[in-house]
Each structure stands twice: as C-alpha cells, then as structure tokens.
C-alpha cells in the first residue's frame, strides 16, 4: 500500500517537503500519496502577507507577521536554494537584501516550476489530530474554511510545517490596560508610516524590536525607545533612538523603566517574541520549546522522539532558513521512505543530548552560526540535497553581523557573493534608508523619479554609522 | 447513572446555565455532573475585557470585544436578572447606563453568591468534539492552557455558550493593504483616546460603528465619517460626523465612496460585524447563521435540530441579553433533565418555521423588540424562571430607541424604571459625554473634582440633540 503523507502548512517548510518528494519523483522514485493543508488562500506562509491583524478573513489567526517595507534582514545568499538559484529565477544578478515581494516571488518560482500545487488544499485548516498506536495511523480533522465542512484524513506520516513565528508572546505589563495610545505586538505591525512625528516604545531586544524600531526611524518617528529585559542590543543607533532596561509599569501614557527613567509615548510595539503553538495536536505530540537553535525531543531537529512517524520542519531559531528547511525536508523524506534508517530511541536521545550540550556552551553569535552550519551539514551529508559551500555561508553570516554592528541603517546596502552560482550581488539602485517603494516592480525596474532616487554616487561604498 | 453536562464558555450564557442548575439544586432537585470550560482566566466572557488584541496571553483568539470607556448602550433595566436585581447587588438605585466594570461586577455578584465557581475549569479551551451516535455521547477534547496538556471528557449533553460577537468579519477593500494609517476591526478597538484630532473612518452601520464613532467624538476626534453598505443610521450626529455610502477603494490615505465623494483619513475602524464560529465542533454540529433574532435549526432558539443533546445559548442577535440567556438556560436545563418533553423533529421544524416566517416579515425595530419579547415569553412560560413584566421591557426598548434617535450623545443620561423591583434609576452624577473615568469606584463614589464633574444643574433634564 502506498505511504500516505500529510503536510500541515504550505509555507517555505511545507513547500520544501513537497519539493523534496518532487525531486525524488524526477529521479524516477515512486513517491507517496501526499496531501498538504494550507489555511491561507495561497502558499508562501510568512511571505504571503496580510493587511489584517489578529484574525483573518475566515476568523483564523493571521499567519504572517510581515509588514509593508519589510526588506530581508539577512543576505539572500544565506538562504538561497541550492537547487534553484536567484540567477535562475531572476535571470540577472540582484541585490543582497531584497524586499518581501521579491523573495516571495523567488519562493513561488521554484514551486511553480515543479508541478506540486496539485498536492495543496488551500483555505483548509488543521483542527485535530489523533494517533492510533495499533495501526500506526494519524487521523487528521481539517476544516474547509470556504464551506465550513470538516473532514478527516488518515496518514501514515505527518509533517508539521506551520512555523513558529506566528503566535505572539504577549506578556502583561502593569498599567498597560489604560495606556491611551496604540499597543500592539510586532505580529500585528503592518507599517510604520503612522509613527511619523510620534514617540515610539519598542519592548524587546531581537529582530522585531530592532527592525520595527528602524522602520519607524525611516518613516520619520520623533523618537524610538527600545526596552530590553536582559541586555541592550548595542547597535550604533541613530540619534533619535535609545535603549532602556525593562518597563516596570505604565501610568497613563508614561512608561517607567527599571533604571528609574521614564518617558511619554504615543505607541507601544511589543517585540516580545513568539510561541510554539500547535492547537491541532494532542499534547503528547506537540513541541514545547523556547525559540532556540536546537529544540529538544527532535532527532536531527526533525523527527519526533516518541513517534517517528511525526516530523517537524523549521522548528529551530534560524540563521539558515529556506535552505535549512530544504535539508530538513530531504532528511524527513528519506526517513519516511526508509532510505535513512533511524537508530533506536536511546541512540537518538544521545545524539540530541550532544547537540543540546553544544548549544548550551555556545559563546557568541559567530559560534551560533557555526553551530547551525554544522547541523545543516549533517542533514545534507545524509541526503541527496545538492551540497554547497557551507563554511562560506557561515562566513557570510559573520560578515553580515559585523555589518549590522557597524551600521544598523546601512547593512542592507552591502553586497554578498552567492555560494551556489558564484555571482556577486549588485548594489541596489536605492539605499534602503531612502527606498520608499518596496514593490517587486520598483525593485526590478529602477528608481522612481521622485522620493527614492539615489544618484549613483550617493550610494555609500563604505558604510558609516549615521 | 448521573447525567453528564459539558458547558463551553463561562460568560453570561455559560453562567446562566450554571445558575439554572444551581437554582434547581436549591429547590431540592438532583442535578447533573457539570463541567464548564472557560479559556480566559476568569469568568464574564465579553465583560472580562483585555488590553490585548488579536491573540491573548496563551495565543488564543482574544474573546472580548470591549474597550475602555464602554458604557452600556442599552438600559440596564432591559437586561436585569429577574432572580438577582440591581438593587440587591448595589444596595441602592444606580443609573440606567452603567460602564462595563459596573455591569461586570453585577454579573459576578450573582454567581459569587451561588456556589458555582467549582464547576468551572479556567484557562481551558475546547479543541475538538466528536459525537458517538450509538452511545449518544460527546467526546470533548480540551487543552489546559497553563500546562498545554490535552485531555478528553465524555458528556451526555453539551452546551455551546461561547457567544458570537468575538470572531470579527473582516471583508476585503481594494487598496486597503497600502493605507498608511491604522486599520483595525472593532473587535480590536480598545479606546478612542488616540483619535484626538484625527480623521476617523468607521465602516459599518450598527452598534460598533455608532458607538466607536461617538467614542472618538467624545475623545476629541477632528472628524468621524461613517460608511454604510445599505442605509445610513440617520442619527442626529454631532457636527463633525457624517455618513457616506460604502467605500469603493483606497488610494494611499484617501478613501473613495460610492457616491463619488472622497476623504483623507488617519485611521480606519471596521464595524463590519462578527461571525458565528465554533472551531471546536464538527460541521454537522456547528451553527451557521448571519446575526439574526432567530437563527434556524435551533428549536426554541436553543436545541440543535439534528441532535437534541446539543444546546446553544445566546446565538441570537440581541435586544434582550442576560435575562434571555437565563430563560434559554432554564429551558435547556429542563430539556436535559426531561422536565420538558421535546416534540418530534417535524413538529419542532414547524415551530422554527413559524418563527422564521414571522422574523422575515418584521417591519421595524419596534416590531423586532416585540418579536424577541414574545420569544422570551415562551421560554419563561415553559420554565420556573421568575417571570417579569415583559411588555414593560419591550416598551423600555422602544423608549430607548426613541431616545437614541433624538439624541445619540445623550440617551445614556436618561433614566428608566426596573420591572423587577419597580425602582426608578437615578441620574448619574456625570453626563456620559463628560464622564472621563469609567471605573466602578468613580461610578459609585461620585464625580472627581476635575474634568468629569457636572454641577447638578448641568445635568440635562430634557435631552436635546447636540
């Protein structure tokens, strides 16, 4: 009987799983019966952004956390598919930090080239999963959001590819209930235009706080205050941006910080992170983890320890993204088909423990990049995913972090070399700080004649802190 | 074997069901095994408001649609529990339109007086329901949001009391994706303070659009434009408020209306209504209905036609609220215990059809109030819920609607007489338009010495349109 594989989510991870099977099929292998469920009306996951906040048009939690004017915050050369290069997609070199729509176009290009859309049931949300130990089958209840009909499907293997940057962590703050201005989580942030002339408080000290803060700066916010719990990010911020320790409480529009300082704010954005949440799974199958590079209980970061018919993709904190999801999907595919033999439970546990110990000892961000590089290397070595120069990519991450440290407003103007094709990125026609149109069309077809034109010599060759 | 009853939701409807059984117990009846699941950490449903928008602290959709400075928009005399009066709770007469915290206090007072909190599992969300036709049992999967553990419970009867004003309807509008200001649904509105000096666009023509629009007026918005699909509300709006037909599209911050007019806006609030949504139910048990006074497929508005072990409370559009939920809960209780014999399916269907036909012919709002009054009368006549003068309440609704028509900013300053106790409400110490503190404490203990003081003679005795 043909293996039946269910995939939940058609974002970068779910699409990687479809692509992994398609790749095997193209090489002549028999592939399983595949069904992928996607609650949005198109694929792309995070990259399929929405203007809605909170709940979507069907009353389901909005998946994407992206916003207008989001440009990649890492070099595209670090996430390039090794089986589908940027050169192949765009037909010419592009810059290293493209905006959302450009990356979405790239993701779609690969899967549109393969014939995998037929596997995806759109507007269909996973509701409930049960596992029968005797038959070793999953029964998955899904709901068609257009008809509201629920139905069940039986699978031998289940792939959880719903991501973990969609369900916000929203802690309580004393007095926030009567803060008169806007209060929202980064997940619900859709653009910083309305912060023009405003005093913005960001709470958090990771990518969300950093990038939304600088979006507000770019759009003319009067001031940006970034409040951290543990340590400041310490970038060379623009003059209107400061870091403060954690908010102790709000009084009206005033936030009080733990160092005794205070400030009046027009709006608060919580960059307080996301939770792993899988409401369609019973707790026995549901990953609980903080956002770390190596969550426990997943062999090779992919296979659920207590039930090796269950797979998670992209459950890690991420230096690598698209290419890591690929390597995981190729690995999961080979475990499902038996091409990779799993060692027994104890041996898998020992392997996980080695990774967890190494993770616990990581001294800095450079070491983190190397850690995930080594993880990825293991997956790629175990499968036929096209190999690439992983050490070069790890070096790219380190260069990128140094650039960010040197110039938080300018690092996106730097260019990097593809390890897949050897192509050097081109400088974009407009500096990120001046780019006020984030469309694919403007990106590809040159600067407009007005606000976001840079004359070529205005493009910084050496980046300086502003 | 003792009947096992599961109740989903501990808002006004779920609490009514608990109270219905408690009332029977106090009269000496044996009552079922009861278990009520509430996803929030306290009871009160809508009245247990939150500063969060979108998803709550556990990553579940936020339940309450309420906001700061929400004062009852109907007379409290129309929703008074006939077994627990406002006089009993507050010990003295109060005004007819109290703020949220005061009504929340009242709801809690009744259930705290009974010993029903023991039946409620807080922080516990319903995930999935199945029904076994052979055993006539429901299996309900719930998740403890604090431990993330899922567990299943078996019930003979299931009461759906999750309300239907929590999951927003959020239609698409051309160009809204690039509207630079804030865009949110009324469900995520938490206060109008930040609309001071701003130009607000409300889309919708029901309670949300009306009240949020006037909240913005009260808080000093520069202008309020209310866009309707079918017909304007036609109130005597303040000078800075206009009604326009439906938005055809947005271009930047400009909204274009179907009458060819346009306007620039700082923010858009969608008062576009709510959906019936029961993600924890299979489609065969899930009510689908627009927001109407008599949804189909529920006998006496309560009993699911195809499975009479399933009950819905509060699924109607509402003139009556708390007291209607009570009457429904008393009726559901008596059906569950067999005190009320259900007629056969065809006879129930004929009864539903009569109501639906009458509903379809309702000529105006006054007739709607009478319609729901008659519905309530049937329920109360069938049970031992303490009767009250329903015709007097129906007249109260009509008076209230006339007051609103005469003075949309002043109707909350009117006073009404309780049909339960005969007590005349007192005039509140501060006119609604001037009341800038909506706390229970300020409500009960008199005006502050600053912004929201009215001298007694400043209280309008006759209301005039402003």
Please tell me if residue B190 touches chain A, with a CB cutoff of 8 Å.
yes
CB-side exposure of B426: number of CA atoms within 13 Å? 14
Chain B stretch 133-152, residues whose beta carbon is closer than 8 A to a beta carbon of chain A:
141, 143, 147-150
Q: How far apart are CA A291 and CA A269, in angstroms?
A: 20
Give every residue of chain A whose pLDDT is below 50, as ranges: 451-466
pLDDT band at B115 (very low <50, low <70, confident <90, very high): confident
CB B444 within 8 A of CB B99: no
| pLDDT tens profile B57-98 | 999 999 999 999 999 999 999 999 999 999 999 999 999 999
- pLDDT given at position B463: 32
SS3 content of chain A, % helix, strand, coil (to 5): 30, 20, 50
pLDDT at B352 over 80: yes
CB-side exposure of B233: number of CA atoms within 13 Å? 27
Taken in order A25, A28, A29, A31, is the CA torsion positive or negative?
A: positive
> What is the H or E stretch that residue B155 is in?
strand B150-155
Q: Structure pTM?
A: 0.94
Question: How far apart, in Å, do the first and last CA atoms of chain B sit?
Answer: 64
Chain B stretch 57-96, residues whose beta carbon is closer than 8 A to a beta carbon of chain A:
57, 59, 61-62, 68
Please judge whether A141 and B282 are an interchain contact, meaning their C-beta atoms are less than 8 angstroms apart: yes
DSSP assignment string, B14-32: HHHHHHHHHHHHHTT----
* H-state helical runs in B253-389: 322-337, 345-360, 365-382
pLDDT band at B450 (very low <50, low <70, confident <90, very high): low
Q: What are phi and psi of B84, to 5 degrees?
A: -160, 95
Contacts of B184 in chain A (CB under 8 A): 53-54
- pLDDT given at position A353: 98
CB B220 within 8 A of CB A180: no
The token pair at B387 is 């009767």
CB B372 within 8 A of CB B316: yes
| pLDDT tens profile B161-217 | 999 999 999 999 999 999 999 999 999 999 999 999 999 999 999 999 999 999 999
- pLDDT given at position B452: 46
Answer with the residue of higher pLDDT: B429 or A457: B429
Please judge whether B183 and A190 are an interchain contact, meaning their C-beta atoms are less than 8 angstroms apart: yes
Nearest Cα of chain A lies from the Cα of B370 at a distance, in angstroms, of 32
* H-state helical runs in A170-321: 207-218
Please tell me if residue A363 touches chain B, with a CB cutoff of 8 Å.
no
CB A18 within 8 A of CB A114: yes
Please judge whether B266 and A194 are an interchain contact, meaning their C-beta atoms are less than 8 angstroms apart: yes
CB B70 within 8 A of CB B99: yes
Please tell me if residue B249 touches chain A, with a CB cutoff of 8 Å.
no
Specify the DSSP class assigned to residue B417. Answer: B
Please tell me if residue A179 touches chain B, with a CB cutoff of 8 Å.
yes
Strand intervals (E) in A165-302: 167-168, 182-185, 199-203, 223-228, 241-245, 247-251, 254-257, 262-264, 267-270, 274-275, 298-299
The token pair at B222 is 């520069």
The token pair at A45 is 């996951």
Q: How far apart are CA B39 and CA A410, in angstroms?
A: 45
| pLDDT tens profile A131-158 | 999 999 999 999 999 999 999 999 999 9
- For tokens 């809204």, name the residue: B176
The token pair at A406 is 């040197």
CB A311 within 8 A of CB A158: yes
Q: Average pLDDT in the B457-463 region?
A: 34
What crossing angle do the helices spanning B345-360 and B365-382 adopt, rounded to 10°?
Answer: 160
Q: How far apart are CA A141 and CA A145, in angstroms?
A: 13
Contacts of A193 in chain B (CB under 8 A): 180-181
Please judge whether A194 and B168 are an interchain contact, meaning their C-beta atoms are less than 8 angstroms apart: no
What crossing angle do the helices spanning A100-113 and A12-26 adopt, rounded to 10°?
Answer: 30
Closest CA to B439 of B99, B192, B93, B87: B99
Closest CA to A81 of A35, A167, A12: A12
Neighbours of A260 (CB within 10 A): 8
Strand intervals (E) in B223-356: 223-228, 241-245, 247-251, 254-257, 262-264, 267-270, 274-275, 298-299, 303-304, 310-312
Q: What are phi and psi of B264, to 5 degrees?
A: -100, 135
Neighbours of A147 (CB within 10 A): 12
Residues 6+ apart with CB under 8 A from A28: none
Q: How far apart are CA B172 and CA B183, in angstroms?
A: 12
pLDDT band at B120 (very low <50, low <70, confident <90, very high): very high
What SS3 class is residue B150? strand
Closest CA to A316 of A389, A372, A394: A372
Residues 6+ apart with CB under 8 A from B442: B448, B452
Please tell me if residue A462 touches chain B, with a CB cutoff of 8 Å.
no
- pLDDT given at position B87: 98
Taken in order A56, A146, B60, A325, is the CA torsion positive or negative?
A: negative
Q: How far apart are CA A133 and CA B384, in angstroms?
A: 50
CB A424 within 8 A of CB A388: no
pLDDT at B456 over 60: no
User: What is the percent of chain B with per-residue pLDDT over 70, rounded to a whole number?
Assistant: 96
Name the residue among B61, B176, B284 with its Cβ closest to that of A51.
B176
Taken in order A395, A398, A403, A408, is the CA torsion positive or negative?
A: positive
Contacts of A131 in chain B (CB under 8 A): none
CB B84 within 8 A of CB B107: no
Pairing of strands B267-270, B182-185: parallel
Q: How far apart are CA B429 and CA B98, in angstroms?
A: 11
The CA–CA distances, whole Å, from A26 to A15, A116, A157, A391 equal 16, 12, 21, 29
Contacts of B283 in chain A (CB under 8 A): 143, 147-150
CA dihedral (A160, A162, A165, A167) in degrees, to 10, reads -100
Q: How far apart are CA A436 and CA A101, in angstroms?
A: 14
User: Please, which residues bridge with residue B168 across strands?
Assistant: B274
pLDDT band at B460 (very low <50, low <70, confident <90, very high): very low
Please tell me if residue B184 touches chain A, with a CB cutoff of 8 Å.
yes
């Amino acid at each position: 009987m043909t293996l039946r594989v269910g995939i939940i989510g058609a974002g970068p991870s779910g699409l990687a799983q479809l692509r992994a099977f398609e790749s095997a099929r193209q090489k002549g292998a028999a592939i399983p019966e595949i069904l992928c469920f996607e609650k949005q009306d198109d694929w792309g996951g995070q990259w399929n952004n929405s203007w809605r906040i909170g709940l979507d048009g069907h009353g389901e939690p909005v998946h994407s956390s992206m916003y207008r004017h989001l440009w990649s915050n890492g070099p595209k050369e670090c996430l390039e598919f090794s089986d589908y290069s940027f050169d192949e997609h765009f037909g010419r070199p592009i810059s290293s930090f493209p905006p959302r729509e450009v990356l979405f176009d790239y993701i779609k290009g690969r899967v549109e080239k393969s014939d995998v859309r037929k596997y995806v049931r759109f507007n269909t949300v996973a509701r409930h999963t049960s596992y029968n130990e005797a038959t070793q089958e999953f029964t998955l209840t899904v709901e068609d959001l257009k008809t509201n009909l629920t139905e069940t499907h039986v699978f031998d293997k289940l792939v959880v590819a719903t991501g973990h940057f969609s369900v916000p962590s929203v802690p309580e703050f004393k007095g926030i209930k009567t803060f008169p201005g806007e209060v929202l989580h980064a997940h619900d942030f859709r653009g910083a235009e309305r912060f023009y002339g405003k005093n913005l408080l960001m709470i958090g000290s990771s990518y969300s706080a950093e990038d939304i803060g600088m979006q507000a700066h770019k759009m003319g916010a009067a001031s940006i205050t970034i409040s951290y719990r543990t340590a400041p990010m310490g970038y060379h911020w623009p003059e209107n941006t400061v870091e403060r320790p954690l908010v102790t409480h709000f009084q009206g529009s005033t936030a009080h910080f733990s160092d005794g300082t205070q400030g009046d704010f027009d709006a608060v954005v919580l960059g307080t992170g996301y939770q792993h949440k899988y409401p369609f799974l019973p707790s026995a199958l549901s990953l609980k983890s903080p956002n770390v590079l190596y969550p426990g209980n997943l062999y090779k970061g992919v296979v659920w320890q207590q039930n090796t018919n269950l797979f998670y993709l992209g459950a890690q904190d991420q230096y690598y993204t698209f290419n890591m999801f690929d390597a995981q999907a190729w690995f999961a595919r080979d475990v499902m088909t038996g091409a990779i033999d799993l060692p027994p439970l104890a041996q898998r546990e020992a392997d996980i423990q080695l990774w967890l110990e190494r993770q616990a000892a990581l001294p800095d961000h450079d070491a983190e990049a190397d850690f995930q590089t080594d993880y990825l290397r293991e997956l790629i070595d175990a499968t036929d995913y096209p190999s690439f120069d992983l050490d070069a990519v790890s070096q790219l991450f380190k260069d990128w972090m140094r650039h960010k440290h040197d110039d938080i407003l300018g690092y996106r103007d730097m260019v990097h070399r593809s390890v897949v094709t050897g192509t050097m990125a081109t400088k974009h026609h407009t500096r990120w700080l001046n780019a006020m149109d984030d469309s694919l069309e403007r990106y590809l077809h040159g600067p407009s004649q007005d606000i976001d034109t840079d004359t070529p010599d205005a493009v910084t060759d050496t980046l300086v802190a502003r």
